[in-house]
Amino acid sequence: MDPLSQKPIGIALMDRSPLTLAGLSCFIGTLNEPSEIIVQETSMTAVSEGLLYQPVDILITELNGLNETTSQGRETLLSLCTQLPTLRVIVYTRNQKGDDLGKLLDVTNISVISRGDELQLVGEFFNRVFNGERVLSPLIGSYLARADSDDVSSLHNLTRCENDVLTSLFNGMSLREIAELQHRSIKTISAHKCNAMRKLQVKNDSELFSLRKNITQQFACD
């Protein structure tokens, strides 16, 4: 996805707490990219209705707001993404349930960042989304990891390059950053990721990150 133009980025905020909304607004003002807060709401339903009449570039939201369950908020968000396919979404959440978070990852314009991440990292992740990247923070990856034991025999088929790419992804790096670190093209890094996913028999980032715990444990033993 191409970076947004230099005009201020239009932003919508949603959180059930007005105090949190005020804090988010101030925090966004400290970031590198010029931005403008256009919509602030305390429920997913209200922000969804508002964005149909006041278009923005990016929505930064919790999974649910006032008088909404997580399931209701998530479904409203997914419906909004269908209606507004160019909208970028940052789910900035306290939620730590893999089942709730994993259902977001099939929508490619949704990034997910944990409120447990350090503010310096959160600022970096926000800036990356503002510049067109998709971000899944390391803590979110850990929440997606399966608690139960899975068969990891296919890990032995991964090459060292594929291992290195997955390790970097699990540490929160983008494909571009991995390419720069390894002095390779993004196309090559993407190919390593795709080959690893094929060997692990996973179809998307949600399934890949659900294996994070077992993959990183296996790497540590190699």
Q: What is the pLDDT of residues 83-95, one digit of tens each?
A: 999 999 999 999 8
pLDDT of 142 > 80? The answer is no
The single residue listed with the structure tokens 């959440």 is 93
Could you tell me if 103 and 195 lie in one domain? Answer: no
The set of residues, in sequence order, having a beta carbon less than 8 Å from that of 105 and lying 6+ positions away, is 112, 136, 204, 205, 206, 209
Q: Is residue 1 part of a domain?
A: no
Could you tell me if 104 and 25 lie in one domain? Answer: yes
Q: Is residue 3 part of a domain?
A: no
Q: Is residue 155 part of a domain?
A: no
In which region does residue 184 sit, left (phi positive, over 0), alpha (psi from -120 to 50) or beta (all else)?
A: beta
Q: Report pTM.
A: 0.69
Q: What residues form DSSP beta bridges with 112? A: 91, 136
Say what percent of the chain tops pLDDT 90: 46
Q: What angle do CA 222, 205, 14 make, to 5 degrees?
A: 130
Among 96, 125, 150, the domain boundary falls at 150
Mean pLDDT of the chain: 85
